Amino acid sequence: MSADDASPGPTTLWHGRLAGAPADALAALNDSLPFDQRMFAEDIAASRAHVSMLAAVGLLSDDECDGILAALEEVRSEIADGRMVWAPTDEDIHTAVERRATELCAAAAKMHTGRSRNDQVATDLRLWTRTAIDELTGLLLGLAGTLAGRAHEAHAAGVRLPGYTHLQQAQPVGLAHHLAAHAWALLRDVERLGDARRRTDVSPLGAGALAGSTLPLDPAAVAADLGFAAVFENSLDAVSDRDFVADTLYALAMSGIHLSRLGEEMILWASAEFGFVRLDDAFATGSSMMPQKKNPDVAELARGKAGRLIGHLTGLLATLKGLPLAYNKDLQEDKEPLFDAVDTVRAVAVAFDGLMQTVEFDADAMAAGADDPFAAATDLAEWLVAHGTAFREAHEIVAGLVRQALDAPDAGSRRSRLAELVAAHPDLGPEAAALLTPGSAHLSRNTPGAGGPDAVAAQLERLDVALTSARSLQDGR
Ligand code: ARG
């Protein structure tokens, strides 16, 4: 069907310029209503602020303003209650709200005065993003709090595990230290979201299509009405800036990466090979074929979904990179990745919080690795250093003993062999061999920020302070 065959008469808000109705294929590509209707509350809030400002500067009478505000409230409740009857010509949430408001109140034909969908959509999306950031910040702080709580528990119980480098057992650390490491990462995500929020919190309304207006608009009043911390400086920048979306997607991708890394550990730790954790049945799945299986799907999905979060960030950056000023329809591609990223991080953070609240740690399985005498090899070298040997020489002495001990036929005799060799060595002896007794290597590493119990106790206090101040910053918003 060509555009000329389409039925005549008003179709869209911009029909005046074009002779026929839009082709179905254009509408299918162009319409954003299916996904941008979730910004309806923000669109109506922004319209309320705009209409109030138009009245304040004399572009609407008080009666017109009251009538439009009442119509907007009716549209809001129709959409919220699912009573809104969408029209085929509603190409996006902005046109839908204006169309319906005008049906309810003729004066609403004036509500787009001095405004373009270009500044309108940027405003709506900033309002939506600000709220989403606040919600996700709360969820990530909740998960960080859960990790801190489990860390306190593990600390009180003296639980230790082998720390790893290259996924090879390296040096023992408190389980509290390990859990707190993930909590600090989440706190950085919260800070990143806070940075993104600050750049989101700027009102673009009043920029018009690209160049402002000939009418006496008051962008600062609109910004204040909507609770924005600042107002745009440049109308071209205001309608084309999507840095706040990229900032948010980066913060969410980073958070997804942190959740993925924690997920990867829970997957490994739940395996028979590690046996460090038992997942609660409520946060594990079974196999449709293998009756014995218990699978860590929550952790696997946390790991898998990091991929789509990274994709959303890189996708948006690619969309933005070639755009000339000012608004281009390409910018409509900002919403779906953002919405999906927010939904994804929400779902993962909530499920992961449940997993971490309920997971059981196997202190004995962890201690078996943590107390392996080979994990105390560095302690032997440092003992030699404390008694006057140069570190390089000390490293070589201990490495030689480790190599000899590893010649023993089985794991048990390798461990006792190392203790015997240390006790018999002229530079080491029984005092050094005592460093190999179970639990000792974990206890003695207490430099600032270290994994030993005294250092971890101090760290956990600082973690609690950081969590409290992040929460109060959040509550103050
Ligand atoms: N749906 C559009 C978007 O998401 C709204 C802005 C449309 N502006 C325009 N000039 N056609 O970006």
Residues 183-234 have pLDDT tens digits of: 999 999 999 999 999 999 999 999 999 999 999 999 999 999 999 999 999 9
Q: pLDDT at position 206, please? A: 98
CB 215 within 8 A of CB 202: no
Determine the distance separating the centroid of ligand 1 and the alpha carbon of 170, expressed in angstroms: 55
Q: pLDDT at position 415, please? A: 86
DSSP letters spanning 227-280:
T-SEE-S-HHHHHH--HHHHHHHHHHHHHHHHHHHHHHHHHHHTSTTT--EE--
For the chain, the helix, strand and coil percentages under 3-state DSSP, each to the nearest 5: 70, 5, 30
Closest ligand 1 atom to 329 CA: 12
* Residue in the block written with tokens 């923000």: 42
For residue 232, report the phi and psi dihedrals to the nearest 5 degrees.
-60, 150
| For residue 309, pLDDT beyond 70 | yes
Residue 112's pLDDT band (cuts 50, 70, 90): very high
| Per-residue pLDDT tens over the stretch 381-398 | 999 999 999 999 999 999
For residue 277, report the phi and psi dihedrals to the nearest 5 degrees.
-135, 155
Of 69, 86, 88, 68, nearest in space to 78 by CA: 86
Determine the distance separating the centroid of ligand 1 and the alpha carbon of 119, expressed in angstroms: 9
CB 470 within 8 A of CB 190: yes
Best residue for ligand 1 mutational test, from 329, 333, 336, 339 (most atoms within 8 Å of Cβ): 329
Domain residues of the chain, as ranges? Answer: 22-110, 119-162+173-366, 372-437
- Burial tier of 194 (Cβ tally within 10 Å: 0-12, 13-18, 19+): middle
| For residue 172, pLDDT beyond 70 | yes
Going by the DSSP 8-state scheme, the letter that residue 285 receives in this structure is B
CB 68 within 8 A of CB 107: yes
| For residue 3, pLDDT beyond 80 | no
State the pTM of this model.
0.95
CATH T-level assignment (fold) for domain 22-110: Fumarase C; Chain B, domain 1 (1.10.275)
| For residue 9, pLDDT beyond 80 | no
Q: Which residues have any ligand 1 atom within 6 Å of their CB?
A: 32, 36, 92, 117-118, 121, 327, 329, 331-332
- Residue 166 bears catalytic tag: yes
Mean pLDDT of 64-76: 98
Percent pLDDT > 70 in the chain is: 98
Tokens standing for 53? 């400002």
Range in 3-17, 25-39, 84-98, 311-325 the model is least confident about: 3-17
Sequence length of the chain is: 477
Given 61, 77, 271, 287, the catalytic residue: 287
Residue 345: which residues within 8 A CB-CB, separation 6 or more?
Answer: 136, 139, 140, 252, 255, 256, 259, 309
CB 172 within 8 A of CB 451: yes
- Residue 47 bears catalytic tag: no
CB 90 within 8 A of CB 101: no
Q: pLDDT at position 11, please? A: 63
Range in 11-15, 217-221, 256-260, 307-311 the model is least confident about: 11-15
Closest ligand 1 atom to 335 CA: 4
Determine the distance separating the centroid of ligand 1 and the alpha carbon of 336, expressed in angstroms: 14
Q: Tell me the pLDDT of the chain averaged across its residues.
A: 95
Residue 477's pLDDT band (cuts 50, 70, 90): confident
Residue 6: which residues within 8 A CB-CB, separation 6 or more?
Answer: 20, 21, 22, 23
Q: Which amino acid is at 36?
A: D
| For residue 6, pLDDT beyond 80 | no
Packing angle of the helix pair 391-405, 411-424 (nearest 10 deg)? 140
- Among protein residues, the one with the nearest Cα to ligand 1's atom 4 is 332
CATH for the stretch 372-437: 1.10.40
| Per-residue pLDDT tens over the stretch 388-443 | 999 999 999 999 999 999 998 888 888 899 999 999 999 999 999 999 999 999 99
* Residue in the block written with tokens 């509408």: 27
Going by the DSSP 8-state scheme, the letter that residue 421 receives in this structure is H
Best residue for ligand 1 mutational test, from 14, 18, 32, 95 (most atoms within 8 Å of Cβ): 32
DSSP letters spanning 347-376:
HHHHHHHHHHHH-EE-HHHHHHHHT-GGGG
Mean pLDDT of 235-251: 98
Q: pLDDT at position 382, please? A: 96
CATH T-level assignment (fold) for domain 119-162+173-366: Fumarase C; Chain A, domain 2 (1.20.200)
Closest ligand 1 atom to 94 CA: 5
Distance CA 186, CA 467 (A): 10
Of 287, 251, 252, 283, nearest in space to 270 by CA: 283
Distance CA 104, CA 107 (A): 9
Of 280, 282, 279, nearest in space to 267 by CA: 279
Instruction: Give the 3-state secondary structure of residue 449.
Output: coil
Q: pLDDT at position 63, please? A: 98
Closest ligand 1 atom to 92 CA: 1
| Per-residue pLDDT tens over the stretch 262-281 | 999 999 999 999 999 999 99
Packing angle of the helix pair 297-321, 335-358 (nearest 10 deg)? 160
Residue 169's pLDDT band (cuts 50, 70, 90): very high
| Per-residue pLDDT tens over the stretch 317-364 | 999 999 999 999 999 999 999 999 999 999 999 999 999 999 999 999
Determine the distance separating the centroid of ligand 1 and the alpha carbon of 325, expressed in angstroms: 14
Distance CA 74, CA 190 (A): 37
The neighbouring-strand residues paired with 285 are 295
Mean pLDDT of 122-131: 99
Residue 432: which residues within 8 A CB-CB, separation 6 or more?
Answer: 380, 383, 384, 422, 423, 425
Mean pLDDT of 26-46: 97
Residue 12's pLDDT band (cuts 50, 70, 90): confident
Mean pLDDT of 464-473: 97
Residue 310: which residues within 8 A CB-CB, separation 6 or more?
Answer: 253, 256, 257
What b-and-e string marks burial along 425-457, b requiring 16 or more CB atoms within 10 Å of the CB?
bebbeeebbebbeeeebbebbeeeebbbbebbe
CB 116 within 8 A of CB 56: no
Strands 277-278 and 230-231: unpaired
